[in-house]
């Protein structure tokens, strides 16, 4: 083999450096290749998605994902939504942000349990956002060469990944990073408020009933810990069904209910089987407000965390401070002065 010496050596080094530099892209981000914009993300199925341009026609069949897109200010890209957006609770909020929803003119080609492939194809989207567990629907949509971003959220880290990916997809990376910083800063402030306190033992009850809860590997566990509490349910499952005797044995200092139209905290405190539980005796049974306000599967996680921390450690939060922080959270996340947190 002939050795290259002198100026030729420097020439080859420079050529190699230039080629290496051109080959190094901003991983998973936007880069120029042959004059075309390339956008790449990896969804929750671990599937890589690649686009030559930012999606302009999007069908989003997940409400929590939809609200993230509204936070980024990209709602004009939405051409189809989940049918539950027109339900009473969600409609009252989204109708304030989007006249198309107020007029009920946005298409509804499906929901979390049903998808009309025919309607989706007719809409001609260049992206569909759907739960990754809806495997049959995803396969059918992809058979029409329509890209699908599959979502599955189990933790706050998952929520942050989703909004980061949406920032890339919609060319709003600065906005998404700003919202993530805002959320993390608020969670740090909550942690500072509760540090040094004796951690309160918390039991969480889903709307299906007092015996349906969440264990350690769950968004609920992230919520409780971010609020300075301890989840008494030490089961690993994200969704667990327990008996009343187990709740009594755990003896939580606070019981927190998910939004529930059928049961109130007063109903829980009247249950004779729970009368000796610490939370009941001290009247520390609380209920989150509307799903829209308290949505754990969005950056509004921070508001749910703030509420729970104020219930567990009321001496650390004044009423005026809570109201001020709530206004700041909603105005910042949605970039609007419209009051989204109360009914009309």
- Identify the residue with better confidence: 31 or 296: 296
Question: What local confidence, expressed as pLDDT, does residue 294 receive?
Answer: 93
pLDDT for residue 341 is more than 90: no
Digit-coded pLDDT (tens) for 284-331? 999 999 889 999 999 999 999 999 999 999 999 998 889 999 999 999
pTM of the model: 0.86
H-only helix segments in the chain: 7-23, 63-71, 88-97, 99-102, 117-123, 135-142, 156-169, 173-194, 219-226, 244-250, 265-269, 278-281, 291-294, 301-312, 319-334
Tokens of 94: 């989204």
| 264 φ/ψ angles, rounded to the nearest 5 degrees | -115, 165
Tokens of 340: 């989204």
Question: What local confidence, expressed as pLDDT, does residue 343 receive?
Answer: 46
**pLDDT tier at 113, thresholds 50, 70, 90:** confident
pLDDT for residue 16 is more than 50: no
**pLDDT tier at 36, thresholds 50, 70, 90:** low
Average pLDDT score, the chain: 89
Task: Say which range, 41-45, 65-69, 194-198, 220-224, has the weakest mean pLDDT.
Answer: 194-198
**pLDDT tier at 19, thresholds 50, 70, 90:** very low
**pLDDT tier at 33, thresholds 50, 70, 90:** very low
Contact 201, 248 (CB under 8 A): no
- Identify the residue with better confidence: 303 or 196: 303
Tell me the C-alpha distance between 165 and 161, whole Å: 6
Is the backbone of residue 343 left (phi > 0), alpha (psi -120 to 50) or beta?
Answer: beta
pLDDT for residue 210 is more than 50: yes
Question: What local confidence, expressed as pLDDT, does residue 342 receive?
Answer: 52
Instruction: Collect all residues with Cβ–Cβ distance below 8 Å to 30 and sequence separation of at least 6.
Output: 37, 38, 39, 40, 168, 171
Strand partners, 39: 30, 51
**pLDDT tier at 220, thresholds 50, 70, 90:** very high
**pLDDT tier at 2, thresholds 50, 70, 90:** very low
Question: What local confidence, expressed as pLDDT, does residue 7 receive?
Answer: 43
Contact 65, 162 (CB under 8 A): yes
Tell me the C-alpha distance between 215 and 237, whole Å: 5
**pLDDT tier at 37, thresholds 50, 70, 90:** low
**pLDDT tier at 26, thresholds 50, 70, 90:** very low
* Dihedral over Cα of 126, 130, 135, 136: its sign: negative
Contact 234, 216 (CB under 8 A): yes
Instruction: Collect all residues with Cβ–Cβ distance below 8 Å to 297 and sequence separation of at least 6.
Output: 64, 153, 159, 219
| Residue range 204-215: mean pLDDT, rounded | 96
| Residue range 188-205: mean pLDDT, rounded | 93
Would you call 250 helix, strand, or coil by DSSP?
A: helix
**pLDDT tier at 197, thresholds 50, 70, 90:** confident
Tell me the C-alpha distance between 49 and 166, whole Å: 12
Domains belonging to the chain, first-starting first, are 30-152 (3.40.50.1980), 186-334 (3.40.50.1980)
Question: What local confidence, expressed as pLDDT, does residue 10 receive?
Answer: 38
| Residue range 255-270: mean pLDDT, rounded | 93
Digit-coded pLDDT (tens) for 163-187? 999 999 999 999 999 999 999 999 9
| Residue range 240-262: mean pLDDT, rounded | 95
């Amino acid at each position: 083999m002939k050795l290259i010496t002198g100026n030729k050596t420097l020439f080859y080094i420079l050529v190699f450096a230039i080629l290496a530099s051109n080959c190094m892209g901003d991983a998973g981000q936007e880069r120029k290749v042959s004059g075309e914009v390339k956008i790449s993300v990896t969804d929750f199925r671990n599937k890589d998605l690649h686009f030559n341009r930012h999606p302009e026609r999007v069908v989003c069949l997940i409400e929590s994902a939809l609200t993230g897109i509204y936070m980024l200010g990209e709602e004009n890209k939405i051409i189809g939504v989940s049918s539950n957006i027109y339900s009473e609770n969600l409609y009252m909020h989204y109708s304030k942000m989007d006249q198309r929803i107020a007029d009920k003119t946005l298409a509804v080609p499906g929901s979390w349990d049903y998808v009309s492939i025919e309607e989706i194809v007719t809409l001609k989207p260049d992206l569909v956002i759907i739960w990754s567990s809806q495997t049959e629907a995803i396969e059918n949509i992809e058979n029409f060469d329509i890209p699908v971003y599959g979502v599955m959220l189990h933790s706050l880290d998952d929520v942050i990944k989703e909004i980061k990916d949406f920032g890339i997809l919609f060319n709003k990376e600065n906005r998404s990073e700003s919202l993530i910083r805002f959320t993390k800063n608020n969670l740090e402030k909550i942690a500072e408020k509760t540090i040094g306190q004796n951690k309160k033992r918390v039991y969480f009850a889903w709307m299906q009933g007092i015996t349906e809860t969440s264990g350690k590997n769950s968004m609920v566990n992230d919520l409780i810990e971010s609020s300075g509490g301890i989840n008494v349910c030490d089961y690993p499952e994200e969704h667990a069904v327990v008996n009343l005797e187990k709740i009594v044995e755990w003896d939580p200092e606070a019981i927190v209910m998910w939004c529930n139209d059928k049961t109130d905290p007063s109903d829980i405190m009247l249950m004779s089987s729970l009368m000796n539980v610490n939370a009941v005796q001290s009247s520390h049974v609380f209920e989150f407000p509307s799903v829209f306000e308290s949505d754990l599967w969005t950056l509004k996680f921070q508001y749910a965390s703030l509420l729970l921390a104020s219930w567990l450690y009321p001496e650390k939060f004044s009423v005026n401070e809570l109201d001020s922080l709530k206004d700041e959270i909603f105005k910042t996340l949605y970039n609007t002065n419209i009051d989204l947190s109360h009914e009309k």
